Structure 1
Amino acid sequence: MPSAAFASAGAAVPSAALYERVRRVIPPMEWASFADDVDAILELKRRRNAVILAHNYQTPEIFHCVADIVGDSLALAREATRVDADVIVLAGVHFMAETAKMLNPDKTVLIPDLGAGCSLADSITPEDVRLIRQRHPGLPIITYVNTSAAVKAESDICCTSGNALKIVESFGLPEVIMIPDEYLARNIAAETAVKIIAWKGHCEVHERFTPADVQEMRRNWPGVVVLAHPECPPEVVAEADFSGSTAHMSNYVGDVKPSRVVLLTECSMSDNVAVNHPDVEFVRPCNLCPHMKRITLGNIRRCLELGEHEVTIPADILERARLPVERMLAV
């Protein structure tokens, strides 16, 4: 049963039932401030025939309580092609909402906060991509999905951290270009004979992890299993026990069931995985993504109520940007 503090919030039955999913990671007093928005969002989704797609870095009250489809960038891109709804709300950052719009050009795609950006997406422009192509004629340009639609439109194919190796090797060439995440490119290059020309973009969350952080965690938490996202620097990945996308890390926890684990990625990821694995102890180094944290229950509710912050892409860019994404999904 919920605590008195939670019950006094006037929560309706739907949100009360949902709280059971997340009570291990959200205190009752905190949930009391969420319940009204959760109930309102559930009703607004029904009324507007809307679905919410949420990235793994969203907070648990969004990820587990109002989202219809959750996952990493690859999963959200795949599932966006199968959505049967009039409205898609993307609980994530702007490039993800653009990807959903590319794959659903006739649907309304909303993002709760237009300021939810990405340091990787900001690290490269369409003009940069055109210059890269001039300097390396004939080489395919593989573009990480963490980029704007305009950058994707200048690319040959997209990739995510989960399928980057497969995409790199799909060309059967000795050399390719991968933009914009330098560390992802270097980490993938360590797994293949293909030479990868990289760009100097970095994720402001993952670039902050260091080998010293990993060594300190091992000293302080004996037996901890360290999982690192491939956007981390290569020397961090080398110190880890496993490296993979957010989906791969989540699967690792479920398959291996380590008694103690640390995920070197955005900190809400640990909360979301912990909900489904009460028998695993999670060490939580908390590197927050300031862009992901701009998405809240309150602005999800508001964008559904008002239909605000619709994502639009110029038609010429949309058509050219969709092709690299579709090529990725085909691989």
Structure 2
Amino acid sequence: MTSVATSIKLITREEAELKRNNAGSFAPQTCSTDLNLGPWEFDALADKLGMPTYGPGASMADVAPKETPRQGQLPQEYKDATDEELDQRILKAKEVLGDSVVVLGHFYQRDEVVKYADFVGDSFQLANAALTKPDAKAIVFCGVHFMAETADILSTPEQAVILPNLAAGCSMADMADIDSVEAAWAELEKVFGTEPDADGKVPVIPVTYMNSSAALKGFCGEHGGIVCTSSNAETVLTWAFERAQRVLFFPDQHLGRNTAKAMGVPLEQMPMWNPRKPLGGNTEGELQDSRVILWHGFCSVHKRFNVSQIEKARAEFPGVRVIVHPECPMEVVDAADEYGSTDYIRKAIAAATEPTTFAIGTEINLVNRLANEFPQHTIFCLDPVICPCSTMYRIHPGYLAWVLEGLVESEVRNQISVDPHVSATAKIALERMLAAKP
């Protein structure tokens, strides 16, 4: 099976040929033919417009905050280089740098980048992987901004954490910013007060998903809260309920809802908090009756999945095993056979002893890679449209070559540095997460 990037190029060429011949449309489609362009095209557009853009892909309709980091222009030589030339440059730079650099690749990265990674995994696994290389002078994180921030928090002061393209943010993480969360917290304190009840439980405790900024992790550290991953969300909520009457969960409403529902929390006790409305759009009574207050955020990749896709998969492949990510909407999780983190999905497929048909609800690059890795199974993405994570797709071999060759020249490019005060409080919340083992 070809890589996602190669498939997009082939589809784009086919579409262009069909348009020239007036032959109609071509299937399967990509969500945007602009995916075939180099990410630097969108970096240039952001500079021209004076505002950031997530670029083509699942998050292209999401509005990026004005303060979202922007990437300067990539030198022309990297834009013009062929795939083969970039391959040679990256491999040569890695050979020269040796153990002084470690390259981390997220599951959702394109194959053309992942193949250079020393470690591949989810954001938490990769942050931990970096800890196994304390002598590395640089950590090149092929992921998105919040992941690089987490790596900087957990790494040693002597290590430089590098994000190949600063525009690789996360639309979900951007849906909860520190000012909005602090404003919400102030409103909640007015409703609940701050005094613990007779059991010693505080009125509310903050829980942030790993997919959030360092500032929000720091907020949780300062207010007795904790960070969770998609793997340990239930363990973390159990931890929080032992200490508080209710939880403010951000930024992903779906992970919070799916996890709390599985724990027996009724939907009516999970009001949504819309930061643009007074009291988040709720009454004081609704907040008083709540157990989990869900932030109005979501992942644009996992929002694409729906029940109709599952029904279609079951009709076409009787006996299909449907596994989705907990960032999917509740009705999708309910209709699936199983749900779990990216690591759960991978382990479930690896553990299948008989040839099995799997329909997977998560990012296309991972699904495509799993299909290549386990050819004894039939593995396909529930979403028939090739639509990768917009921000993960901003990492390109050209940027990787640029930062690695910078290190060869003793120049650190695109370093991610978290403010020391934020880092200290965020580390408290992260250490609480580390102790909350599923």
Cα pair distance change 1:323/1:161, threshold 3 Å: same
Residue 262 and residue 36 in structure 1: after superposition, are their counterparts in 2 closer, same or farther (change >3 A)?
farther
The one of 131, 143, 148 equivalent to 1:97 is 148
Aligned equivalent of 2:2: 25
Contact 2:109 2:393 in 1 (8 A): yes
Partner AA of 1:41 in structure 2? I
**Number of the residue aligned with 2:255:** 184
Instruction: Report the 3-state secondary structure (helix = DSSP H, G, I; strand = E; otherwise coil) of the residue aligned with 1:130.
Output: helix
Q: CA deviation at 1:26?
A: 4.3
* Count of residue correspondences: 305
- Looking at CA atoms only, which structure, 1 or 2, has the larger radius of gyration? 2
Further displaced range: 284-293 or 84-93: 284-293
AA in 2 matched with 1:237: V
Whether 2:128 is the aligned partner of 1:75: answer no
| Equivalent position of 1:305 in the other structure | 405
* Alpha-carbon distance between aligned partners in 1 of 2:234 and 2:292, rounded to the nearest angstrom: 11
Q: Quick check: 1:54 aligned with 2:94?
A: no
| Residues 2-17 of structure 1: pairs in structure 2 closer than 5 A | none
- Calculate the TM-score normalised by the size of structure 2: 0.66
Amino acid at match of 2:2: V
The answer to whether the 8 Å contact 1:38/1:66 transfers is no
In structure 2, C-alpha distance between the alignment counterparts of 1:274 and 1:251, rounded to whole Å: 13
3-state SS of paired residue (1:116): coil
Give, in angstroms, the shift of residue 219 of structure 1.
Answer: 2.0
Q: Is the CA contact (8 Å cut-off) linking 2:209 and 2:252 kept in structure 1?
A: yes
1:138-287 equivalences in 2 (<5 Å): 138=202, 139-155=204-220, 156-171=225-240, 172-173=242-243, 174-193=245-264, 195-257=291-353, 259-284=356-381, 285=383, 286-287=386-387
Partner residue in 2 for 1:7: none
C-alpha displacement of 1:309: 1.1
The 2-side partners of 1:56 and 1:189 are apart by: 26
Of 39-48 and 153-162, deviating more is: 39-48
Aligned to 1:323: 428
Report which stretch shifted further, 314-323 or 84-93. Answer: 314-323
Q: Which amino acid aligns with 2:218?
A: A
Secondary structure at 2:323 match in 1: strand
Aligned to 2:116: 66
Contact 1:74 1:162 in 2 (8 A): no
User: Structure 2 residue aligned with 1:110, among 162, 183, 202?
Assistant: 162
Which of 30, 35, 41 matches 2:90? Answer: 41
Deviation at 1:198, TM superposition (A): 1.0
**Unaligned residue ranges in structure 1 (runs of 5+):** 1-23
Structure 2 residue matching 1:178: 3-state secondary structure: strand
The percentage of counterpart residues that share the same residue type is 35
How far apart in 2 are the matches of 1:301 and 1:266? 25
Cα offset, 1:302, TM superposition: 0.8
Structure 2: stretches of 5+ with no match in the other structure? 8-80, 195-201, 266-290, 407-411
- Take 2:147 and 2:350, find their aligned partners in 1: how far apart are those partners? 26
Aligned AA (2:419):
P
The whole-number CA distance in structure 2 between the counterparts of 1:276 and 1:81 is 27
Moved more, 308-317 or 278-287: 278-287
Question: What TM-score results when the alignment is normalised by the length of structure 1?
Answer: 0.86
Distance in 2 of aligned mates of 1:68 and 1:25: 22
Query: Which letter does structure 1 place at the counterpart of 2:180?
Result: D
Write the letter of the residue equivalent to 1:100. A
Asked if the contact 1:143–1:178 (Cα under 8 Å) also holds between the matched residues in 2, the reply is yes
Runs of 4 or more consecutive aligned structure 1 residues displaced over 4 Å after TM superposition: none
TM-superposition CA deviations, 1:200-249 (whole Å, max 9, x none): 10111111211112112222333321111100000000111110000000
User: Using the alignment, how far apart are the partners of 2:184 and 2:232 within structure 1?
Assistant: 23
Q: What amino acid does structure 1 have at the position aligned with 2:213? A: S
